[in-house]
Every structure is written in C-alpha cells, then in structure tokens.
Structure 1
Amino acid sequence: MDHFLNESFDLKPKHSSEEALERWRKVCGFVKNPKRRFRFTANLSKRHEAASMRRSNHEKLRIAVLVSKAAFQFISGVQTSDSDYVVPEEVKAAGFELCADELGSIVEGHDVKKLKIHGGMGGIAEKISTSTINGLTSDTNLLNKRQQVYGINKFAEAEAKGFLVFVWEALQDTTLMILGVCAFVSLIVGIAMEGWPKGAHDGLGIVASILLVVFVTATSDYRQSLQFKDLDKEKKKITIQDSLC
C-alpha cells in the first residue's frame, strides 16, 4: 500500500509529472480553501493555457515567416523582370550600351544586383567603351560622343550667396525683430511727446544698434562663405600621378 501511494501520489518538489499532479487533484477534489491548499502544486489548467498560447504564437510566427518569404520572392521576381534593360537608341548610335540614368541608378542606389546583371565592373567598362587598366581612349570623336551622352566630367558648383542675402538672413533673428518693433514704438511715442528730433533719439539709437549688429553678422558670415568656397575649390583639385612601370 505504501509503495502504491508513493508511486502514484508522491509529488516531487520540482518537475512532477502531469499524471501525478492530476491524480493528486482528483483525490483532493473537495477541500477547504482549495487555492491555499494547492498553492504549492502546479495549476494544470494554466499550464495547458500557456502551452496552447505558445503553440498559437508559434503558428502565427510560422505564418508570418512564410508570408515574408513569399513577399520577398515576389519582389525579387519583379526586380528581375524590371531589370531587362533596353539601351536607348541615341546611346546605341553613339557606340555605347549603357545610358547615364542606368549608371546613376547603380551608383546612387548601391544596386549590386544590377551591377552583376551588367557583368560587374568589367562588363560596365566594356559597355561604355573604356578600360579599367588604360582608361579612356584619346580619340577626339569618341570623347565628344561620350560628352554628349554622359555629360561633362565637372563638378556642379552651387551659386554663391550675395552680401544682401546674408543681411536679410541676419534680420530674421527674433531678438532683432523685437528690438525693431520697440524702436518703431519709441519713435512714434517720442516724436508725439517731445517732437522732432529730440523725441526720436531713443528710437534712432535702437535702430542704429540693430543695423550695426546686422551688418557685423552679415559681414562675418559673408567672409566665412568666401573662405569655404576657396576650400571647396582646393578640394576639387584632383592630382593624378602617371608612373611608368
């Protein structure tokens, strides 16, 4: 009897089987304050709910992975079909097999797939009639055609701002706007109370201060813009060394 009880109803402190827990709860089915009685015994219904929730989450995750794989395959298929590049007639007539827009999309988009489709660096160099070793040919006619198709190899310089633009930007300061309103009010009140020119001294003083700050700020910003422009010119100077091997 003791062996039967120990084997069938003995609960271990940890990792007891669900069968033993179920038998124990059936034996103690009618007890006073069951929540307190079974506070050290696993709640099998909660355990089943947790297992069911885990299975549901696992199934949802599996479906999400399958949907994402299908979407990725669909996008890849669309990109593959869209990658059938057609050479424009004017580019083909000039003797090239890639237009400037296609090259720009590869470089700006870091599109490795398009790069592989066009044969990598060697394939692109062949399609634009150049060499990764010798560079461009010295044929004047081919260089002129290349400039017509791909444009001139020159940095686009931004238009420099004039001094008046910096003056206008300096006037956009909130503090100076408030001081301008104060100067206007001071001029009106002063002239009305004390007449011209005695009543305008305070207002004109504020205006002079505002103009001084504006012109000093604009002059400083304008000089800095000229210095940055000179630095940009130095950065755009490219030095190429020709070494004979």
Structure 2
Amino acid sequence: TLFRSVMELNRRKPNKTTMQFHDDQPGPEIKPQKRWSLACKAVYFTVALSHKILPHKKGPLLRVVRSPSYIALDISLVDSESAPQNNDHETPVPFTIDQNTLTDLMRERNLQPLSQFGGIKRLALALGTDTSLGVSSKTEDIEVRKEAFGSNVYEKPPKKKFLGFVIEAFKDTTIIILFFCAVL
C-alpha cells in the first residue's frame, strides 16, 4: 500500500490535490517488520556500495600511479666513504658529465646511468654542485654552466596565423563536406 501511495504522488498532476492521511482516517499501515527490513536493506546497500568504491588495501599504496608529465623517481642515497668531498663551493669544478647523458637520464627516467655514476652524491659532484648548498651563485660559474649545458630557457612556439587555422580545419573531412554544402 505504501508503494501505491508513492506511485500516486508520482502520477499526480500539479493542479490535483493529493489524498492526505490524518490520524482519524485509515491510511497505509507499515508493519514494524517491513520497516526493519527496509532499514536493513538500506544499510546493506550502503555498505556494499562503499566496498565497491573504497579499496581494501592495508598499508601503503602497492603500485605507483604514473602520468606522462609528472613522474617521481624513488632514489635511495648511496653513502660512499670513498667519494671525494667537494668542500670548496666557490670554485667551479670541471664537469665530468655531458649534456646528452644528463638529458637521457632525465627524459628516459632510467636509473642505470645514475648507478654508473655512483649515486646521487657522485652525480652532484660530476655536475659541480654541493648537495646542501646547491649551485654556486658566482657569475663565472653560471657562465661556465651555460656554455656546458645550455641556457635553461623555454622557447615559446611561434604564434599561428589565421590561415594556419583554416588549413588545419580543412584537414577534417566533416568540415570539407559542410563547406561544400554551404557553397551549394
């Protein structure tokens, strides 16, 4: 009977009044067992839905989500007692790594060249960088780095002209068909 009254509310027209139930009028009566059954079904549905949405993995995330733009490398530091220390931060060290090797290391995200250098500390030493102080701010050192590795400047692509957009649009067959239909 509850279902019928709900369906009546759904089927009613906006100008039609609905039947109202008062205490003195007999109305749809829901037994307590049906109420409990309905409540249990609602709770069960909510729990089942939450199990589908939330993963049940205990502990840290088991796999790393990678995107092509942002990938973090998980690199452990290699403590080597035999690694020479670069305490003289003021004088530039001649670089023992070239730009192509450094570019391959960053683009390919391959840890093999990093292990060939002997870890992060040795790579920093090869780049003439102090791991705690960073790159020297002396102008001579910066100029030497620009000559060795190039300038770190983003080159904006040239702006497209209107004709370039038109030519690119005509590569689409739908645009060509619409153009010929407009001409006719």
Q: TM-score, structure 2 length as denominator?
A: 0.43
In proportion to residue count, which structure has more helix? 1
Q: Which has the higher contact order (CA 8 A, sep 6+)?
A: 2
Q: TM-score, structure 1 length as denominator?
A: 0.34
**Greater Rg over alpha carbons, structure:** 1
